[in-house]
Amino acid sequence: MLEHILARLGLIIGLFGSILIFISFLIYLANKKSYENLVSLFKEKYTFPAPGSFYHMVGFFGVFPVSRFFIKLSKKKKISFLKQSDPAYSFFEENDLKIQPWMNYLSYMWITATVAYLISAIAGVILSLIH
């Protein structure tokens, strides 16, 4: 009985994570042009810190870390590999920009999907220990 509950729970939660990633892909496709414009506007004057220098080139698979980078940059929060005194922190003010709402939604979806995958994996480990 417990095995069946854990198996179904792990499957449903894992599928939920997959659905969120798929929806985030559709959101990315709908906003791809504005994302690319934001990245190219940033690259005109600044250099992405590592690993953002790689992620901004891989399309959908890099949109989550690059979105997190821009969200943190817009709030002037500390970013790894970028000094707090770096002029890039003024990017949003210089260009009179605000973070686009879809970037926040996409970010929350990826974080929620990661938690769902983690719960699904834990359910699988517990299931294998029980069995």
Tens of pLDDT, residue by residue over 57-74, are 999 999 999 999 999 999
pLDDT at 53: 84
d(CA 80, CA 101): 23
In this structure, the dihedral spanned by the alpha carbons of residues 20, 109, 65 and 60, taken in order and rounded to 10 degrees, is 30
Quickly tell me which residue has 């690259």 as its tokens: 43
Task: Give 60: exposed, middle or buried? Use CB within 10 Å, 0-12, 13-18, 19+.
Answer: middle
pLDDT at 121: 96
Residue 37 has pLDDT above 90, yes or no: yes
Q: What is the pLDDT of residues 65-122, one digit of tens each?
A: 999 999 999 999 999 888 888 999 999 999 999 999 999 999 999 999 999 999 999 9
Using DSSP, state whether 79 is helix, strand or coil.
strand
- What residues does each domain of the chain span? 1-31+105-131, 32-99
Residue 131 has pLDDT above 80, yes or no: no
